[in-house]
Structure 1
Amino acid sequence: MKTKLDKLLEFPCSFTYKVMGFADPQLVDQALAVVQRHVPGDYMPEVKSSSKGSYHSVSITITATCTEQIETLYHELGKLPLVRMVL
């Protein structure tokens, strides 16, 4: 994936991922496990439910150090079975 993030962002920078998936208690744990594997830290994800409660969105903010790190996390988070979309 070739992006222009390196031209748009000045590293290190704060970067938020919004992970949307099924309303399963493991969604947050799985997303945090992926983030911890690539960018260890103490995270406080923000979780919001959809209007019908079928889906959750989990916002996790990291301190990104390079474009490759951002792209890798998008790819890894998107592979989780409970995830439907990563923004």
Structure 2
Amino acid sequence: MSHASPLQFPCEFPIKAFGLDNGGFTQLVAEIARRHAPGLDDEAVTSRPSKGGKYLSVTLLIQAENQAQLDAIYRDLSACAEVVMAL
């Protein structure tokens, strides 16, 4: 039995990923998302350091086509060792 998503597709959908600020984390997160959302613009990728500066929060605003696409992005982000958490 499949559950209907409360989202209406296509839609803009924000995805956040948190990880260590190693200098390449923002680019890594964007590359993972682009596997499933190749149209992701650089302007749709923002990052912010944590208060202590150790971690980085990266927000992607993607044009989501369907739930399977979002699931695939979260699956790949969660599988990435550098990503501490994806929301």
Same fold (TM > 0.5): yes
State the percentage of identical aligned residues.
29
Q: Deviations over 1:14-51 (max 9, x none)?
A: 11100000011111111111111111122321111111
Whether the aligned pair in 2 keeps the contact of 1:43 and 1:60 (CA below 8 Å) is no
Distance 2:60 2:2 in 1: 21
Whether the aligned pair in 2 keeps the contact of 1:21 and 1:82 (CA below 8 Å) is yes
| Structure 1 length-normalised TM | 0.88
Instruction: State the secondary structure of the residue aligned to 1:48.
Output: strand
- Closer/same/farther in 2, CA of residues 3 and 25 from structure 1, 3 Å limit: farther
Distance 1:3 1:36 in 2: 26
- Closer/same/farther in 2, CA of residues 84 and 50 from structure 1, 3 Å limit: same
RMSD across aligned positions (CA)? 1.7
- Cα drift, residue 82 of structure 1: 1.2
Distance 2:25 2:2 in 1: 27
2:50 is aligned with 1:50: yes
- Closer/same/farther in 2, CA of residues 3 and 30 from structure 1, 3 Å limit: farther
Distance 1:30 1:82 in 2: 9
